[in-house]
């Protein structure tokens, strides 16, 4: 519940009762503690009577901030009073520094489970049993996910700032603070800026719909070809690639080069590329694609086609 509702238990009870009656799904709520333990226990009893499935308790009062100590005793008293699950929250600042601390906090509060917020923002690897990963590694991996799922740069920037915390005044921190686009974030923290990243960022700047990739796999040799649609125009490399990822990067290169835009750079986990001849198809043993080699997407920009919105892709009919 919003902290402002803590002073209006009648409204809390009405809201929760309405929700419980209106859905078959479990309903839970999250509260802070009141100035007195007696009032807090009275409130959670009323909340429990609404039929909710669980309650999360942030062990601080409404006006308290993270630097104030969390009251494990108050959460424990609530857990011992209620018969429904109680989820403990608020331990990131003082109690949770690594994975094993989560269970220690749960035991200290006698809760059924723990809700982790700030500690997870500071370093998402808090959930690894083997221990925290280095922050730089975590940030680079987060950026890759942000790119993969097309997260808006403002949200990416906010999350990275939460991870840096006291390092915001470092050279990289200042670069991050000044970043006004995903590309500027990538330059500061990611070892590679790929063609797909460049194309996505350009589309956002131009207020265009995000690129749409249509990728197919050829059954005979299991190689891939992709067509990317940008501003109702289609772009495709003439070569086929050994992976879906490279095929999409090749299509992005075609689009970027056709529009005279920076292409970024491609990199692979393995620097070696194994070129191989492709066997001819049964239908067209002497066709022009029969002798194409599987080459990295970086080389695909040497041979490309840019298609109009109504043109047929050269891959049709293979």
Per residue in 130-172, pLDDT tens?
999 999 889 988 988 887 787 899 999 999 999 998 888 888 8
pLDDT of res. 249: 92
Higher pLDDT, 81 or 282: 81
Average model confidence (pLDDT) across the chain: 83
| Range from 25-34, 128-137, 257-266, 306-315 carrying the lowest mean pLDDT | 306-315
User: At residue 282, does pLDDT exceed 50?
Assistant: no
CB 199 within 8 A of CB 230: yes
Q: May I ask the CATH class of domain 3-122?
A: alpha beta
Q: Please determine whether the domains at 3-122 and 195-259 fall in the same fold group of CATH.
A: no
Query: Terminal CA-to-CA distance of the chain, rounded, Å?
Result: 59
* Residues 6+ away with beta carbon under 8 Å from 292: 239, 240, 278
CA distance 211 to 258: 15
Q: Where are the domains of the chain?
A: 3-122, 135-189, 195-259
Per residue in 238-276, pLDDT tens?
889 999 989 999 999 999 999 999 876 554 333 332 333
In this structure, the number of other CB atoms found within 10 A of the CB of residue 281 comes to 16
Taking residues 173-187, report their average pLDDT: 84
The model's pTM? 0.62
Q: 195-259 architecture in CATH?
A: 2-Layer Sandwich (3.30)
Taking residues 59-74, report their average pLDDT: 95
Residue 311: both structure tokens together: 């043109």
User: At residue 79, does pLDDT exceed 70?
Assistant: yes
Taking residues 96-119, report their average pLDDT: 97
CB 30 within 8 A of CB 89: yes
């Amino acid at each position: 519940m919003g902290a402002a509702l803590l002073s209006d238990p009648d409204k809390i009870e009405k809201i929760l009762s309405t929700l419980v009656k209106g859905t078959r799904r479990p309903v839970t709520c999250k509260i802070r503690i009141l100035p007195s333990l007696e009032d807090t226990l009275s409130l959670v009893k009323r909340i429990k009577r609404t039929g909710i499935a669980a309650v999360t308790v942030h062990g601080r009062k409404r006006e308290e901030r993270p630097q104030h100590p969390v009251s494990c005793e108050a959460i424990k008293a609530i857990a011992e009073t209620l018969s429904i699950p109680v989820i403990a929250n608020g331990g990131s600042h003082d109690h949770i520094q690594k994975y094993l601390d989560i269970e220690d906090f749960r035991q200290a509060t006698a809760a059924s489970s723990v809700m982790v917020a700030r500690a997870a923002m500071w370093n998402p690897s808090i959930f690894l049993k083997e221990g925290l990963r280095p922050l730089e590694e975590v940030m680079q991996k987060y950026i890759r996910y942000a790119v993969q799922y097309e997260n808006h740069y403002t949200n990416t920037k906010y999350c990275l700032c939460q991870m840096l915390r006291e390092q915001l005044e470092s050279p990289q921190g200042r670069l991050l603070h000044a970043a006004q686009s995903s590309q500027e974030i990538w330059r500061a923290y990611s070892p590679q800026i790929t063609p797909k990243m460049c194309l996505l960022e350009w589309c956002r700047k131009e207020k265009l719909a995000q690129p749409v990739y249509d990728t197919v796999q050829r059954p005979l040799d299991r190689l891939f070809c992709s067509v990317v649609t940008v501003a109702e125009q289609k772009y495709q490399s003439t070569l086929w690639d050994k992976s879906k990822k490279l095929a999409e990067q090749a299509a992005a290169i075609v689009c970027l080069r056709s529009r005279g835009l920076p292409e970024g750079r491609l990199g692979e986990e393995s620097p070696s590329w194994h070129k191989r001849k492709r066997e001819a198809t049964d239908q067209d043993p002497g066709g022009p694609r029969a002798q194409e080699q599987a080459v990295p997407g970086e080389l695909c920009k040497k041979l490309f086609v840019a298609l109009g919105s109504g043109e047929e892709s050269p891959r049709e009919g293979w």
